[in-house]
């Protein structure tokens, strides 16, 4: 049976940190942001907010503030993801919105990577982010330099999924 396009995107998508200088269209940028808006959130609270950064000098500034995402300077644009920290589940909601954006981008041939290491106070002050918004991270997007043919490095299913109780093995075939 043919795999659905969603399955295909989930299975092939890799995080990529080097980008070509090719411009991403405004329509694609909006479609990626809209994919975030479509994410579910606890009690449908929709508390996330997204800041699009797409000026070359701003991407460089983001890289300078970052500790583990200096590669963002080479991206075409970035999205900073904010959540309302008063909701206990706010970071779970951030993860759903971020995943939507990254999968939407991949399905359009646009690669991305997330960064969660940065000088938070510097980022907050530069982007004028008010309390109680937490900064969940930022994602850099762009076209790849070359065709990405990678293999995911993941633990086997049997190691991460159990059947019925923790530690009970899951079988590949139904008995």
**Site for ligand FMN, rule CB under 6 A:** 14-15, 17, 68-69, 113-117, 152-153
Please report how close the Cβ of residue 7 comes to ligand FMN at its closest, in angstroms: 16
C-beta of 154 vs 174, nearer to ligand FMN = 154
C-beta of 22 vs 152, nearer to ligand FMN = 152
Give the tokens for residue 78: 């970035």
C-beta of 30 vs 67, nearer to ligand FMN = 67
Please report how close the Cβ of residue 171 comes to ligand FMN at its closest, in angstroms: 26
Please report how close the Cβ of residue 99 comes to ligand FMN at its closest, in angstroms: 9
Please report how close the Cβ of residue 123 comes to ligand FMN at its closest, in angstroms: 13
C-beta of 69 vs 142, nearer to ligand FMN = 69
For residue 104, how far is the Cα from the chain centroid? 10
């Amino acid at each position: 049976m043919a795999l659905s396009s969603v399955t295909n995107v989930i299975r092939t998508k890799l995080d990529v940190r080097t980008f070509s200088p090719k411009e991403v269209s405004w329509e694609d940028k909006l479609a990626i942001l809209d994919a975030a808006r479509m994410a579910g959130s606890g009690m449908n609270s929709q508390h996330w907010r997204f800041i699009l950064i797409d000026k070359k000098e701003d991407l460089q500034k983001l890289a300078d503030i970052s500790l583990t995402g200096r590669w963002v300077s080479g991206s075409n644009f970035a999205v900073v993801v904010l959540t309302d920290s008063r909701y206990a589940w706010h970071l779970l909601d951030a993860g759903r919105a971020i995943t939507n954006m990254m999968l939407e981008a991949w399905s359009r041939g646009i690669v991305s990577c997330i960064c969660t290491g940065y000088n938070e106070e510097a980022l907050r002050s530069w982007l004028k982010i008010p309390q109680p918004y937490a900064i969940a991270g930022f994602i850099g997007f762009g076209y790849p330099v070359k065709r990405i043919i990678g293999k995911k490095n993941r633990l086997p299913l049997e190691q991460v999924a159990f059947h019925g109780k923790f530690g009970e093995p899951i079988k590949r075939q139904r008995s």
